[in-house]
Chain A
Amino acid sequence: MAEDALPSLLKVVKPISMEPRRLALETAGAFENDGFRIRDGEWSGTLSKGAPLFLQVTLFAGENYWFVAASPTTGAMLYVTVYDASGKPIKSDLWHNTVNAEGTRSATGVAPTQSGKYFIGVESMRGPTEGTLDFSLVYCYK
């Protein structure tokens, strides 16, 4: 009986993967070298293909921001989009890692002209396998 219970117990206590966060922070480190400061916090979750997830943030006019998302799954296409309070995408710089790099990493840079509420959307458009994709998002500002 104890042996029967073991697999489900292992499933319950399976540690949360730190790999998405590690990849996101590693990528954000490049911006840190350019004077950006990384927030000490992360947004992590699991994406289903074509079903975006959104985070609410407050951004300030005159500041520059980079939002970095990463997943350990190589070859998945991650999109990070910044929306204003009305839900309209705002002008941004996009960056994606090369196809052969470790995991999938994507970043979006914005310089808002107005302070206030914004939304960050993360979406996976394709992947090497059907199913879900673990991701982590961090952001930095300057």
Chain B
Amino acid sequence: MDPTNAHMTEPQKKAAVFLDALSVPSPGEVFAALNKACRPNWATLVTPATAPVTTERPQLALAVGVLTANGYVAVEAQDGQQVKNVGRELMALAKSLGVSQSLLGRGNSLIEFADNNNWDALADELEATENEVKNTMMGQKDRDLVVLTSAAAWLRGLEVATGVVLSSDSLQGAGVLYQPELARKLATQLDSLPDRMKRGSLVPAVKRTMETTASLLETQDTKTDTQRKNYTKIHDDCSAVVKAILSSSMKAPSTIPSPLPGPTPSKS
């Protein structure tokens, strides 16, 4: 019998493995899909790479995710200096987290590839660097920090992607944003974090943003106006939480979404 003809059963779907390293698309994968759907002007999307000054491990882990995504933006923009800046900040974050032992070589590779304009190798090295940080966290029994890094990288990628889609009158590339199940899964993982990880305002803000995003992506309204309002809300919420993650204080901005999600008018 050829198993490729059989449908999955509900128990099989429920038992499917969710692996951080493969089940969550890397920002580079999202951006590659975006490149096919439309032609983003990546140079305008590059932002300065500045890690927050903090000793809070949850914030450091979130910042690893955001900066990695920023690195992919710099690779797409072919901005070698910015990739090097991201690499340097990632190394500093890894040191603060106590997971830098095996990363020195990665940092050197990022610099070498950036100097040689080897963009494909840089994208691979960024993903490998992020995974090495996560693997070291896992080795140190810090599985919860890995959840935060993945969530932050995904939210920053979504912020960039929604910004690109919203810049088009016809919402070109909107298909790339359709990841409601993944948003819900990440929201569930954030909800399952131990209470000690949710102290302060930042991690609860990330969790609320993920829940709001999941609810908005699950909305099946195909009207362009409604979609634009929803994507604007997602973009603004992601921007606010990314700004908070990179802020050197643990204060969450006042624009963080309320627990009850709902579309808001476009700010145009």
Q: Does B25 contact A (CB under 8 A)?
A: yes
Answer whether A83 and B8 are a contact pair too, CB < 8 Å, given A115-B179, A123-B3.
yes
Residue of A nearest to B180 (CB): A116
CA–CA, A94 and B5, complex, Å: 13
Interface size class of B (residues with CB under 8 A): 35 or more
CB-CB under 8 A from A117, the residues of chain B are 179, 181-182
Question: How does the 8 Å CB contact mask read for B1-31 relative to A, with 1 for contact and 0 for none?
Answer: 1111111111011011111111111101110
**B37 contacts chain A at the CB level, 8 A cutoff:** yes
Contact yes or no, A87 B4, CB < 8 A: no
The chain B residue with its CB closest to the CB of A108 is B4
Q: Are B15 and A54 in contact (CB under 8 A)?
A: yes
Q: How large is the interface on A (under 10, 10 to 19, 20 to 34, 35 or more residues)?
A: 35 or more
B4 near A60 with CB under 8 A, answer no
B98 within 8 A of partner (CB) = no
Known A39-B26, A115-B176: A79·B3 in contact at CB below 8 Å: yes
**C-beta contact mask, A122-134 vs B, less than 8 Å → 1, else 0?**
0101000000000
Stretch at the interface among B41-49, B79-87, B108-116, B121-129: B121-129
Q: When A60-B29, A115-B33 are in contact, do A87 and B22 touch as well, CB less than 8 Å? A: no
| Bound complex: CA A77 to CA B176 (Å) | 35
Given contacts A37-B28, A39-B22, A87-B7, contact A54 B178 (CB under 8 A): no
Interface of A (DSSP majority class): strand
- Residue of A whose beta carbon sits closest to that of B26: A39
Q: Is the CB of A56 within 8 A of B18?
A: yes
B120 within 8 A of A: yes
The answer to whether the Cβ of B262 comes within 8 Å of any Cβ in the partner chain is: no
Give A29 Cβ to nearest chain B Cβ, in Å.
13
Give chain B's interface residues, CB within 8 Å of chain A.
1-10, 12-13, 15-26, 28-30, 32-33, 36-37, 120, 123-124, 127-128, 131, 175-182, 185
